[in-house]
Structure formats: structure tokens, C-alpha cells
């Protein structure tokens, strides 16, 4: 029996639409992500449990875990039945890489119990393919950090899909999910098909500056460059009072604030724990819509997917 954990992630990291992704872990030691337990079996079996298991489809063949097993078996040209328990600890449509967590944990677990027939690049490629079937297009900004850890720069080169870039160890990442769902596919539909030259130049300048600041460890410059011109101006309309909340969060000491993935989760960055706690408390009181919503103060998770238990 093997148990695998895959962490939540912040897609885009503000400045890097479909190009950057960051794995996160709560500073209090909680597991913010999905767990998959697997063992060989006479027939394929799937049991869903966890806080958000009620959001999963009743028909197992519509479950992403089944799709992972089915596609993996097609790739290796073998049909090996397994028994899987999915512990769904992330809400679907949260903007925290919920589907990516399930995909990464499941594929790593299956690969391991089948004696690792796929290498890292082949696994990551399959993860991106399955993620694309859910969101409408192949993208790696959630699966890559959840799988490999850290902040990942998505290259999608023939030889290298992604590479890790340096992060700031002094940064606290506060994530707040309001307790409502937002479809990734729907959040993509709201984006324009074309952008002006001016927007493309500004976005490229900020992304390049952020990468440079990360490597040269210029925290102030990196935070200043976390401006988003591609998705935030449009997706902010789908989030409750996003612009007003962003302004307030910065008044409380956040050096940056943005939408996590396609939302509705938002993230803020603070360089000290006191401000992080103030922001966390304010978000708990003002951003959460119901009792299922949550706020976590996090570090960057440098480990990525891993065996636990």
C-alpha cells in the first residue's frame, strides 16, 4: 500500500499567466492538498473521502482519478487493476490547483505501484494532458509545482517542460478561498482573444523583471513587478469586491496581492508574520462567504509530491 500527497498551488503567481506556478504549504503544518492511497486489486475500485469528497461525481468514470488510471494503462499498454482511496482536501473550482492535486497524487501513486514505467518528463506530460481535458487547454502551472515543488517556470520545450526558479524565503503567502466555486473553463472564456501591443510589452517587462529579481534576490523589485495585465482586469469582475479588498490588504502591509489561478481564491504576500496574521484575520472576517471558506498563511512548498504515512 502506498500513500501519496500532492500540495496545493498558486497558478500564474500574478505576473506569469500560464507561465508561473507556486506550490504552497501552511506554516502550521496542515496538509493543504489531496492524498491518494493505492494498492493492487482484482478489480478497479475507487473510494472518495475527505472534506470536499461530496463535490466529486457519483459516477467513478467521471472522476479524474479513474481518468488518470485509464490513461496511464493506455500509455503503458497494460490494464492493471488497483484499489484507490482519494482524500479530497481541496475544493473543486477554488483556484488552488484542486484538479492538479488529484492528478499529480494519482499518477505518481500509480507509477510507483507499477514499478515506475514512466520517467519524470513522461509523467509531467501526462499530467498536463489530463489537466487540459478539464480546463479546456493543456497547461502546467498547477501540475508542475504540485509535482516538483517550488516556483516553476513553464517552458514547454521538447526536452524540458518546466524549471524551478529561486523564491524568497522571507515571504509569507496568505491564501483565502471564499467558499464559492469558479470554473476554470468559464474563467478562461471571459478573457479576450487578442491583446494590444502595449499590454503585451508591459506584461513581458514585468514577467522578465520578476524572473530577474528572483534570481538576484531583490525582494522589493520582485513584489513591485507582480502586476497582472492578461487575466486580472477581466477575472476581477468575477470575484467579490476584489479591487477594494486588494487595496485594503495592501494597507495592512501586503507587498503584493493577486488572484490565485482563475480564482476565486486570492493571495497576498507579506514579509513579516505580524502583517501576515493581520491580513489573514481581515480576510477571514471580510472575504469568506460561508463556513466552508478558509484562510492559510503559507510558505513555498519546496518538496512537491511525496510519500507520507
Q: Can you say which residues are annotated as belonging to the binding site for ATP?
A: 91-101
Instruction: State residue 265 phi and psi, 5-degree precision.
Output: -65, 140
Other CB atoms within a 10 A radius of the CB of residue 243 amount to 12
**For residue 83, what is the enclosing H or E element?**
strand 82-87
By C-alpha distance, which of 280, 276, 275, 258 is closest to 267?
258
Sign of the CA dihedral running 143, 146, 148, 153: positive
Report how far apart, in Å, the C-alpha atoms of 85 and of each of 53, 68, 81, 297 are: 11, 13, 13, 28
Coil/strand/helix, residue 48: strand
Other CB atoms within a 10 A radius of the CB of residue 178 amount to 24
Annotated binding residues, written as ranges, equal 91-101
Grid coordinates representing 36 are 491518494
Q: Which residues have a Cβ under 8 Å from the Cβ of 132 and sit 6 or more positions away?
A: 138, 139
Amino acid at each position: 500500500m502506498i500513500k501519496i500527497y500532492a500540495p496545493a498551488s498558486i497558478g500564474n503567481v500574478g505576473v506569469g499567466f500560464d507561465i508561473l506556478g507556486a506550490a504552497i504549504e501552511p506554516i502550521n503544518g496542515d496538509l493543504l492538498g489531496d492524498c491518494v492511497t493505492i494498492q493492487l486489486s482484482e478489480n478497479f475500485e475507487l473510494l472518495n473521502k475527505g472534506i470536499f469528497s461530496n463535490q466529486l461525481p457519483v459516477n467513478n468514470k467521471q472522476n479524474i482519478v479513474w481518468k488518470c488510471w485509464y490513461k496511464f494503462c493506455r500509455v503503458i499498454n497494460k490494464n492493471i487493476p488497483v484499489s484507490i482511496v482519494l482524500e479530497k482536501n481541496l475544493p473543486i473550482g477554488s483556484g488552488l490547483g484542486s484538479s492538479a492535486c488529484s492528478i499529480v497524487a494519482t499518477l505518481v501513486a500509480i507509477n510507483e505501484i507499477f514499478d515506475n514505467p514512466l520517467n519524470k518528463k513522461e509523467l509531467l506530460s501526462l499530467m498536463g494532458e489530463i489537466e487540459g481535458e478539464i480546463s479546456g487547454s493543456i497547461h502546467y502551472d498547477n501540475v508542475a509545482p504540485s509535482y516538483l515543488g517550488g516556483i516553476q517556470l513553464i517552458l514547454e520545450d521538447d526536452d524540458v517542460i518546466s524549471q524551478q526558479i529561486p523564491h524568497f524565503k522571507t515571504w509569507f503567502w496568505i491564501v483565502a478561498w471564499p467558499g464559492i466555486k469558479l470554473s476554470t473553463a468559464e474563467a478562461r472564456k471571459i478573457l479576450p482573444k487578442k491583446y494590444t501591443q502595449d499590454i503585451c510589452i508591459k506584461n513581458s517587462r514585468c514577467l522578465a523583471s520578476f524572473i530577474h529579481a528572483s534570481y538576484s534576490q531583490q525582494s522589493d523589485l520582485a513584489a513591485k513587478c507582480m502586476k497582472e495585465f492578461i487575466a486580472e482586469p477581466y477575472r476581477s469582475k468575477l470575484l467579490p469586491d476584489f479591487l477594494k479588498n486588494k487595496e485594503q490588504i495592501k494597507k495592512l502591509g501586503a507587498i503584493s496581492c493577486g488572484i490565485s489561478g482563475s480564482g476565486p481564491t486570492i493571495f497576498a504576500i507579506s514579509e513579516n508574520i505580524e502583517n501576515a496574521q493581520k491580513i489573514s484575520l481581515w480576510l477571514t472576517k471580510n472575504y469568506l462567504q460561508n463556513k466552508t471558506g478558509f484562510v492559510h498563511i503559507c510558505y513555498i512548498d519546496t518538496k512537491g509530491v511525496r510519500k507520507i504515512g
